[in-house]
Structure 1
Amino acid sequence: MDNVVTQGDSPGSDGGWTPRLVVSLVSMMLLLEILAVSYAMVSMAIPSISAHFRTAQGAWLITAFLLVGAITGPVLGKLADVYGKRKVLLGSVAVSAVGSLISALAPSFGVLIFGRCLTGFLASAVFLSYSLIRDIFPGKTVALAVSLCTTGMGLIAIAAPFLGGWLIDSFGFRSLFWFFAVALVVFGVLILLSTPESVVRLRSRIDWAGAILLGAGIAAVLVAISFGPSWGWANGSTLAYLIGGVVLLGCWLVSAMKVAEPLIDLHVLRRRPVFLTAIASSFCYGGSALLTVLLPMVIMTPAALHLGYGFGVDAKGFALYQTPNSITVILAGMLTGMLIGRRNIRPRVLMAVGLFILAVGFALIAVQHDSKVLLMVFMGVAGIGIGLGYSSIPNILIEAVPPQLQATTSSVVNAIQSIISSVVTLLVFTVLNNSYRAPIPAEVTHGATLYTDAGYRVAFLIGTVGAVIGALAALGLPRRIERVGVPTDTSGDEDAPVLAH
């Protein structure tokens, strides 16, 4: 049985905001901003990196990062609950900084990918940050703090295309990785100096066999999903990864039911609040990922091609269109924190409202995406939905899961989000590639694949359906969430303190 060491169930102290807490929050928020913009900035550098190393495997720069993030998440979550969330967060930042340094100095493409794999440890910073905030911040500041931490990621995102373009054009692609390395060191030091360690602990052994089965299963499934479209779904490699991944995940489920102290307690995962939160949040993140992928393709397509969409802007010009979305995400996150913390509005309601608003945003973009002004307005509407959804997720998990299991449970929800987000994006591009390719010669498009206006309409409507499914899952959450209990060394009262020896 797992045993816990805690000072009780109340987070942090009874005080309010202090300068040290503000620095702590800003440091973690900026760290998550670096994580958020790294996808876009590295994507901008893929053409120059591929040309430099003479490779056609540039997609691995993103895939390697995502794979390692999904694989290591459950293990890092468990380690955080057992040994301390701050320790594991700082360790992840350190490994990521080393990975960025290796990428900056990489003499070959293989070494560069190895560096990106190490940088993937940073993905755990999302759930580690808000789990740590839950433990150390005063109770009345937690809702706003976690909301800002998860949605404040739009601040740097506004400037990221300009910064990335300037670094690549002026100093080459390696400058991006130097930037990431320096930023990670600076923010890591700020967190070290301003953020205390959580006193909450879970006494438990690490199920390394379960970790290997779960990590390998997730990795195999994500590889199949990522490369199935290019390899072919009937290709032997695709089928091998997909079937092998499913088998490994099945073995992990069997193991988790038999092991005394599994990596993930399936009893917690099966609980209605946790399971439905994972589903709802996955469609929120999936919708956000879909917009991130589709909108640059729509907006940057030359208007001269007369496809019914496209404004012919470059990567820097796209930043202007992205600005309303980034701003509304931040504002909605702040609103969520204030409504939960001061008005006692249930986060399940805000998540459902946010996903319905996201569905409306998708539907509006599907109907009208050839007007610059309207498209920017509709992106702002979608940003409101994303901001409400993002900031509600940690607040629901904080309400449903005890602090001793916070990082472990959040890491599994994060892994489910990665898989469902990948499946949603894959579904959209499968539909586009099979039915809606624009009949334009490759020499005109310089080898890029363009889709018809009807194709993008269908793609955005798929996003609408996904957001509605997520909203219905959020509405399925119980009105009053009963927190799952954890075993203790006392008479059975889960909130009773247990003294550490």
Structure 2
Amino acid sequence: MSVDSPSAPAPDVDERGWSLRLVLSLISFVLVLEVLSMSYIMVATTIPLISVEFGTTQGAWMLASVLLVGSVISPVVGKLADTHGKRRLLLVCIGFTIVGSVISALAPNYTVMLAGRILSGFFIATLFLSYSLIRDVFPSKIVPLAVAIATSGMGLITVPLPFFSGWLIDSFGFRSVFWVIGGILVVSAGLIVVTTPESPVRLRSRIDPIGAVLLGGGVGGVLVAISFGDTWGWSAGSTLAYMFGGIALLVAWVASARVIREPLVDLALFGQRPVIFTAISAGFCYAISALVAVVLPTMVMTPLIPGMDLGYGFGADAEGVALYQAPLGAAGVVAGVVVGVLVGRNVKPRLTMIAGMTLFIFGGVLMAYAHDTKLSVFLIATIIGLATGTGYASIPNLQIVSVPPQLQASTASMVAVFQSMFAAILPVIAFSVMNSHVALEVEGAVIYNNDAIIYGWLIVAVAGALGAVAAILLPRNIKQINVAADQEAVIVPTNAAPLARS
């Protein structure tokens, strides 16, 4: 079947446009995705306190565990969502995250704390589930804007969050972070239940447990090796075991996907230019964001050292970093809304993606050679924020254009794996380069020389260039890919019983 109307809604979608229910529904999605962004930033702030509380040197697992679990479960969640309903799986993932947050808040030891964080890894899937559900239940003419607002809204929280996090943790301790995350998600879930119908689009298929185990284990092994290779040593037996073990499982997954009748992911989809180059450009976009999130604070928090002219560093404290993150977040929100409006007026998301990656190149080069004053960093951070918002809003619109509705969630879940993998790899590469340019160590803290900072931002520019190439290689006129007869969509009334598995 060839689907030529990329934004054609399901038969029971009201096409009249915005209504109070749709506004509240969109607010619920924005809340969920804001918490996704907020949880990363706030939990990162608590790691030093948690490490002291539980006497552990493995604080990095507070973030790494979520990334790993998110990468492993995303393909499975995507397939289940296409089969059993996107809203249902969205609520399930939010539910796991709420439970995980409560466990972390009450944790008596670090093992229990990590158990809560592992459950919170389900939250990663809410990103692609949210915009896939919007595509199915919102009127087609407002889908591009709604998706852009939902996804680019993740930058809005970066403006006040560092101030709020500092006050919350100082006043109520690190456990308060998990209570706040869980509480907001309870409200968001309730709002989704009240305002958002279930997707009427289903895919008749079976779950592939063999593929799920092989893909999950493979991605997890590679990410563990990448995440901890710098700590363990790249030639260490544990690093090599995880890396080559993960690669072997991925090879086995590819082999199984070619022989299983209904695989977890149809690899033929990734032979299609619109899908594979959307995944690659999305991976570079998220990887650059992850790298900027680390390099920018490192740069501005470096203290002024008497007798040394590093060429950078303002000695900002944790709250002071917000002054440089604020323009990045605000510009991202503005850019995302602009992309939504433009795509809604038939500007191709391929062009907006190219524009976003080009802005990353421009911002990376500028920051590499003009980071010695607060004003220049502030202004260039704004450019990088525009790039981030433009890229984030373009990705789901590219996905919506190129993939039919019955494959939205499962294909988007694999794009999410690209995003997680690239986001894990690029910072490791960058800091491997930067660690070769250390000026001195002060009480165990590393102070980089100016060359390290230059190289870090040039890596941002190079990644932007690679992402731009991938976006340029997208077809000029994207038509939704064909699907096999046994993958055709089934439209189910939103108040009907769940579709029986064939």
Q: TM-score range by the shorter chain?
A: over 0.9
The letter for the 2-side match of 1:402 is P
In the TM superposition, residue 423 of structure 1 has moved relative to its aligned partner by 1.4
Q: Which residue of 2 aligns with 1:243?
A: 244
The letter for the 2-side match of 1:419 is M
Residues 6-39 of structure 1 show CA distances to partners (whole Å, capped at 9, x for unaligned) of xx94253321000010011011111101101211
> 1:407 aligned to 2:406?
no
Q: Which residue of 1 aligns with 2:118?
A: 117
* 1:14-163 correspondence to structure 2 within 5 Å: 14-163=15-164
The letter for the 1-side match of 2:428 is L
Runs of 4+ in 1 over 4 A off after TM superposition: 494-501
Q: Which residue of 2 aligns with 1:329?
A: 332
Q: Which residue of 1 aligns with 2:424?
A: 422
Counterpart-to-counterpart distance in 1, 2:368 and 2:342? 31
* 1:309-328 correspondence to structure 2 within 5 Å: 309-328=312-331
Q: Which residue of 2 aligns with 1:358?
A: 360
Residues 259-287 of structure 1 show CA distances to partners (whole Å, capped at 9, x for unaligned) of 00000001112211100111111111111
Counterpart-to-counterpart distance in 1, 2:220 and 2:410? 18
* 1:365-404 correspondence to structure 2 within 5 Å: 365-404=367-406
In the TM superposition, residue 488 of structure 1 has moved relative to its aligned partner by 3.9
RMSD: 1.8
Counterpart-to-counterpart distance in 1, 2:58 and 2:491? 53
Contact 2:202–2:489 (Cα < 8 Å) also in 1: no
In the TM superposition, residue 497 of structure 1 has moved relative to its aligned partner by 6.5
In the TM superposition, residue 495 of structure 1 has moved relative to its aligned partner by 8.0
> 1:174 aligned to 2:172?
no
Residues 393-431 of structure 1 show CA distances to partners (whole Å, capped at 9, x for unaligned) of 000110100000000000001101111221111111111
Contact 2:96–2:122 (Cα < 8 Å) also in 1: yes
In the TM superposition, residue 484 of structure 1 has moved relative to its aligned partner by 1.3
Counterpart-to-counterpart distance in 2, 1:187 and 1:498? 25
In the TM superposition, residue 432 of structure 1 has moved relative to its aligned partner by 1.2
* Unmatched tracts of structure 1, length 5 or more: none
* Unmatched tracts of structure 2, length 5 or more: 494-498
SS at 1:234's partner residue? coil
SS at 1:153's partner residue? helix
| 1:347–1:14 Cα change, 3 Å | same
Counterpart-to-counterpart distance in 2, 1:125 and 1:476? 28
> 1:485 aligned to 2:486?
no
In the TM superposition, residue 476 of structure 1 has moved relative to its aligned partner by 0.7
Question: Identity of paired residues, percent?
Answer: 49
Counterpart-to-counterpart distance in 2, 1:75 and 1:245? 18
SS at 1:262's partner residue? coil
Contact 2:73–2:216 (Cα < 8 Å) also in 1: yes
In the TM superposition, residue 386 of structure 1 has moved relative to its aligned partner by 1.1
Residues 461-488 of structure 1 show CA distances to partners (whole Å, capped at 9, x for unaligned) of 0110110110111011101112112234
Contact 2:155–2:389 (Cα < 8 Å) also in 1: no
Q: Which residue of 2 aligns with 1:455?
A: 452
| 1:205–1:51 Cα change, 3 Å | same
In the TM superposition, residue 76 of structure 1 has moved relative to its aligned partner by 0.3
Q: Structure 2 length normalisation: TM-score?
A: 0.94
- Aligned residue pairs total 487
Counterpart-to-counterpart distance in 1, 2:169 and 2:491? 53
Residues 202-243 of structure 1 show CA distances to partners (whole Å, capped at 9, x for unaligned) of 010000110010001000000000000010011000000000
In the TM superposition, residue 200 of structure 1 has moved relative to its aligned partner by 0.1
Contact 1:488–1:498 (Cα < 8 Å) also in 2: no
SS at 1:449's partner residue? strand
Contact 2:201–2:489 (Cα < 8 Å) also in 1: no
The letter for the 2-side match of 1:247 is A
Counterpart-to-counterpart distance in 1, 2:445 and 2:186? 38
In the TM superposition, residue 156 of structure 1 has moved relative to its aligned partner by 1.9
| 1:142–1:162 Cα change, 3 Å | same
Counterpart-to-counterpart distance in 2, 1:228 and 1:496? 46
In the TM superposition, residue 308 of structure 1 has moved relative to its aligned partner by 1.5
Q: Structure 1 length normalisation: TM-score?
A: 0.95
Contact 1:284–1:467 (Cα < 8 Å) also in 2: yes
Q: Which residue of 2 aligns with 1:217?
A: 218
Task: Decide which moves more: 157-166 or 76-85.
Answer: 157-166
Counterpart-to-counterpart distance in 1, 2:15 and 2:173? 50
In the TM superposition, residue 446 of structure 1 has moved relative to its aligned partner by 2.7
